[in-house]
Amino acid sequence: MTKFTLNMRWLEQRPYIIAIIIALTLVLWMASGSNATAKDADSNGQESKEAVKAQVKVETHHAQDVFRTVELYGRTEPDRVTTLKAEVRGKIVEVSAKRGSRVEKGQIIAQIALNDLPSQLTRSKALLKQREIEYQGVLKLNEKGYQGRVQLAQAFADLEAVKAEIERLELDIANTVIRAPFSGVLNTRYVEVGDYVASGDDIAMIADLDPLIVRAHVTENQINLLSIGQKAQVSLLNKQTAQGELRYIASVGNDATNTFKIEVAIENKDSKLLAGLSSELTIALEKIPAIKVSPALLALDELGNIGVKSVDNNRVTFTPIDIVKSESDGVWLTGLGNQSDIITLGQGFVRHGDKVEAIFADDKQPKSSAASDASTASSNL
């Protein structure tokens, strides 16, 4: 019996060894085949990835000089408002100004009945003459030693009391005529002829609308950009527009909102602009170069920064921007330099750093193809 025969019998008695050998052989064969397949797939995928480039439409935008602006929302208000009140009691006997009419400083608004004020004044003036004669008599007697200082002081006090009464009556008579303290619009008149008023009752409300004031509030970041005398464009809710000048900036902020009140004065001699209208203020600051684009071209990066995607050397570049001002047909941006090739179509399918084929809107062909065609033409020459 040969040695080979003995080995075969030994293996026949142990079949599990044969099974293990066959399993190991299959595993090694399958592993070698899958590695080769994976390498081929990776190489083919990389080649196809390099071969396929995304095409994006690009437009070249040039910067223009624009003013950086601060845009605020405010409300128009009168420059000053006063409510005229009765200083004496009595019946209204005359009203001389209509509601909503223009009144000038010193113009009569209404008149209160004099009642017995003139007769009281006449009596007091007669009494004044009596007190002057009495005082002169006591003064001469005092000089001769027939009257004491007490009688002289009493006579002088009686004389001064009559003078004070006359001044009071003259003032009351003057106060029966209600006059406008300044020029403005008689916005409200609270009385009619025949009404009885007591001291302190409302007579009329006058508003000064020239200049008209637009009051607004600015944030802590905006307050340092403003200064007295800056020009402001005002757009009212009723489609009227005007230009004003910044005349007041608060030095103390509001505790509740941390904002600062400002006032813009608008010339309003003909009173065409009304108080109480919502308005939008646009205050021009320094002039800077900016590029105007559609808001649809704005994008966000992975960190949430707002910016624009452009193409530089056939690669996508995300550039963070700063919005200078907004208009109805676009926004003005800084941070893109004096010129930028901005992606206008396909920006949602590419990311920063991707290699793309840029198709410019003006030449309708990829920039890379145009460059290669130019080089080919030059070589042929």
CATH code, 366: 2.40.420.20
Domain's final residue, options 207, 237, 254: 207
Structure confidence by residue, pLDDT tens digits, 50-99: 445 788 888 888 988 888 888 899 999 999 999 999 999 999 999 999 99
Structure confidence by residue, pLDDT tens digits, 222-253: 898 899 999 999 999 888 899 999 999 999 99
Domain's final residue, options 253, 287, 321: 287
Q: Is the pLDDT of residue 264 over 80?
A: yes
Number of domains into which the chain is organized: 4
d(CA 170, CA 151): 29
CATH code, 242: 2.40.30.170
**Does residue 369 lie within any of the structural domains?**
yes
**Does residue 332 lie within any of the structural domains?**
yes
Strands 322-327 and 90-95 turn out to be: unpaired
312-333 average pLDDT score: 86
At residue 10's C-alpha, the angle toward residues 5 and 16, to 5°, is 135
**Does residue 326 lie within any of the structural domains?**
yes
**Does residue 372 lie within any of the structural domains?**
yes
**Does residue 113 lie within any of the structural domains?**
yes
**Does residue 42 lie within any of the structural domains?**
no
d(CA 100, CA 329): 40
Query: Residue 359 has what pLDDT?
Result: 87
Amino acid letter, 339: Q
**Does residue 43 lie within any of the structural domains?**
no
Which structure tokens are listed for 323?
Answer: 């919005």
Structure confidence by residue, pLDDT tens digits, 206-215: 999 999 999 9
Q: Are residues 141 and 217 in the same domain?
A: no
Residues counted in the chain: 381
**Does residue 294 lie within any of the structural domains?**
yes
Residue numbers of the domain that contains 132: 84-207
Q: Are residues 121 and 61 in the same domain?
A: no
14-19 average pLDDT score: 67
Q: Are residues 246 and 310 in the same domain?
A: no
